[in-house]
């Protein structure tokens, strides 16, 4: 598992631009591309380059076929280049808004329906499911939404694919989900600080019982302000490689 985050891959680029990016990542030896169907940045209200929104009336039970055909084309092209899509059905602000744009559109009832739809649509594609989307689970409703979406996906794809959860910076989904039956491996977002001790964080999850694989789904990005503060300077290629090696030597099953 050697992934790149291309969160807006299904939303912002035209097909030929997405193909150019996927060609590049495949040539560099990446194996997974993490991308979001209902994207973070105005993903519900700003159309893709073809002019299509993902949902009718922001209703998760009413997906727009034209939008999803564009997603299909990107998923298929990635597969042709030997890449697996780490697919986030939605960014987290659609079920736990916090600082995001939102709106919160998911309930346990429509999350189940949407999960069935997207699980069935990509049942035979090279997919790893990544629920969440940069948000924590903070109450019973959040947990019910996530469990319903996971259940729907499993019903839709027949349980063919691995499933995990991407949470917010400095935390692991293991805190809430380690013992969930649908949750196949732990994922950290160690975040965008310099010299965060990722070996300790990865090791902490690797030592949980029962043992599950663990990896860092979002470490510090090269050219990102360290700690989100430009006074700290920008993370560079050395910082990026450090977090990779620290994670791998601590027992990680891969890296993003």
Which residues are within 8 A (CB) of 80 and not within 5 positions of it... i.e. 6 or more apart?
Answer: none
Answer for the pair 88, 132: CB distance below 8 angstroms, yes or no: yes
Strands 214-216 and 163-166, sheet pairing: unpaired
Going residue by residue through the chain (256 aa), what tens digit of pLDDT does each one get? 999 999 999 999 999 999 999 999 999 999 999 999 999 999 999 999 999 999 999 999 999 999 999 999 999 999 999 999 999 999 999 999 999 999 999 999 999 999 999 999 999 999 999 999 999 999 999 999 999 999 999 999 999 999 999 999 999 999 999 999 999 999 999 999 999 999 999 999 999 999 999 999 999 999 999 999 999 999 999 999 999 999 999 999 999 9
Please give the pLDDT value at position 44: 98
Round to the nearest angstrom and report the end-to-end CA distance of the chain.
Answer: 8
User: What is the phi/psi pair of residue 172, to 5°?
Assistant: -120, 145
Digit-coded pLDDT (tens) for 184-241 = 999 999 999 999 999 999 999 999 999 999 999 999 999 999 999 999 999 999 999 9
> What pLDDT shows up at residue 11?
98
């Amino acid at each position: 598992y050697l992934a790149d985050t291309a969160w807006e891959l299904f939303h912002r680029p035209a097909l030929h631009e997405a193909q150019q990016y996927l060609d590049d990542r495949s040539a560099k030896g990446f194996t997974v591309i993490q991308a979001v169907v209902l994207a973070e940045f105005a993903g519900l209200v700003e159309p893709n380059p073809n002019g299509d929104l993902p949902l009718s009336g922001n209703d998760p039970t009413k997906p727009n076929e034209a939008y999803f055909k564009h997603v299909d084309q990107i998923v298929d092209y990635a597969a042709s280049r030997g890449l697996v899509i780490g697919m986030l059905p939605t960014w987290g602000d659609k079920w736990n808004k916090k600082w995001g744009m939102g709106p919160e559109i998911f309930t346990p009832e429509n999350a189940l329906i949407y999960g069935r739809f997207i699980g069935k649509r990509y049942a035979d594609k090279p997919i790893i499911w990544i629920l969440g989307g940069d948000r924590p689970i903070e109450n019973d409703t959040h947990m019910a939404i996530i469990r319903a979406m996971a259940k729907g996906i499993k019903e839709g794809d027949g349980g063919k694919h691995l499933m995990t959860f991407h949470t917010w910076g400095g935390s692991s989904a293991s805190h809430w989900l380690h013992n969930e039956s649908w949750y196949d491996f732990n994922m950290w977002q160690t975040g965008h600080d310099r010299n965060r001790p990722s070996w300790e964080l990865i090791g902490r999850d690797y030592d949980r019982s029962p043992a599950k694989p663990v990896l860092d789904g979002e470490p510090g990005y090269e050219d990102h302000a360290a700690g989100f503060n430009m006074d700290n300077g920008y993370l560079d290629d050395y910082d990026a490689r450090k977090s990779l090696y620290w994670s791998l030597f601590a027992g990680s099953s891969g890296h993003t």
